[in-house]
Amino acid sequence: MEVVILPDAAAIGSVSADAIGALLGRKPTAVLGLATGSSPLAIYDELAARYDRGLISFQQARGFTLDEYVGLPAGHPERYRNVIDTVFVSRVDFAPGAVRGPDGLAADIPAACAEYEEAIRQAGGVDVQILGIGTDGHIAFNEPGSSLASRPRIKTLTRQTRVDNARFFDGNIELVPTHCLTQGLGTIMAARHVLLVATGRSKAEAVHQLVEGPVSALWPATILQHHPHVTVLLDDGAAHRLQLADYYRETYRSKPAWQAI
């Protein structure tokens, strides 16, 4: 696991966009795993800016989102499918239908989950998976207690996650759905490169567990310690509790220029 501590979200966006740009340069048909939440916004802003400048194209790429609320109507602005369109997909040149998400309105949820996993597999798997992390250590919506080998399925959101996400629902936890569909931890582990982004002190404990804690279903993100290629991109706030922060800083500073993340 590589830990990169950067001054701010803009720097995180820039380093991430370098990695994604390099991937698309060598593989224009790359499959991108797209996360919602506020953490990846700087990445999407930087990618959109590079697209505007003609430096990058998503024309042949595909995308799969991580998760979706169950039951939000198709036009709801907080439906993750709509969120990812607004913050990223509509700002660049993906082909129509190239980005998919789990169907939170499916009548047969287990079938929709199995079909989603199969669609990712048929696309050749995810080349780079962008991730945020919840304050309780969830990735996608794999809440504490999730099977570390899980596949897409329905989950009940914890009260903490609903409290955290109430800010997107007029501050009213009652408006936050109680259930979601999410890629499983096993699905995420199959991505070839994981870029996990966290900013701010509210994430410091989850980041400490992710990087330095024991692997445990109590902190689902810790499963990433078993992944061969994870880059954790942090600001100082999110890095605040890391025991080996100085070592991570030194390692990144002394990294040879040719060795990208």
User: Which residues are known catalytic residues?
Assistant: 67, 136, 138, 143
CB 206 within 8 A of CB 236: no
Size of site (CB under 6 A) for ligand GLP: 14
- Answer yes or no whether residue 137 interacts with ligand GLP by CB under 6 A: no
* 204 makes contact with ligand GLP (CB under 6 A): no
CA-closest candidate to residue 85, choices 63, 107, 114, 55: 63
* Minimal distance, residue 25 CB to ligand GLP, in Å: 27
**Any contact of residue 209 with ligand GLP (CB under 6 A)?**
no
Q: Which stretch binds ligand GLP (CB under 6 A): 11-19, 42-50, 85-93, 132-140?
A: 132-140
Q: Closest approach of Cβ 255 to ligand GLP, in Å?
A: 26
Q: Which is nearer to ligand GLP, 15 or 140 (CB)?
A: 140
Residues 88, 141, 219, 248: which binds ligand GLP (CB under 6 A)? 141
Residue 37 or residue 152: which is nearer to ligand GLP going by CB? Answer: 37
Q: How far is the CB of 165 from ligand GLP (least distance, A)?
A: 5
- Contact between 33 and ligand GLP by CB under 6 A: the answer reads no
Q: Which of 6, 70, 126, 133 binds ligand GLP (CB under 6 A)?
A: 133
Query: Cα separation of 79 and 104, whole Å?
Result: 9
Q: What would the two tokens of residue 149 be? A: 């080998």
> 36 forms bridges with which residues in the sheet?
none
- Shortest distance, position 179 Cβ to ligand GLP, whole Å: 12
Task: Give, as ranges, the residues between 39 and 98 that touch ligand GLP (CB under 6 A).
Answer: 39, 66-67
Region of 14-22, 30-38, 231-239, 248-256 interacting with ligand GLP (CB under 6 A)? 30-38
Q: How many CA atoms lie within 13 A of 223 on its CB side?
A: 27
Looking at beta carbons, which residue is closest to ligand GLP? Answer: 132
Nearer residue to ligand GLP within complex by CB, 38 or 216: 38
Q: Which parts of this chain interact with ligand GLP (CB under 6 A)?
A: 35-39, 66-67, 132-134, 140-141, 161, 165
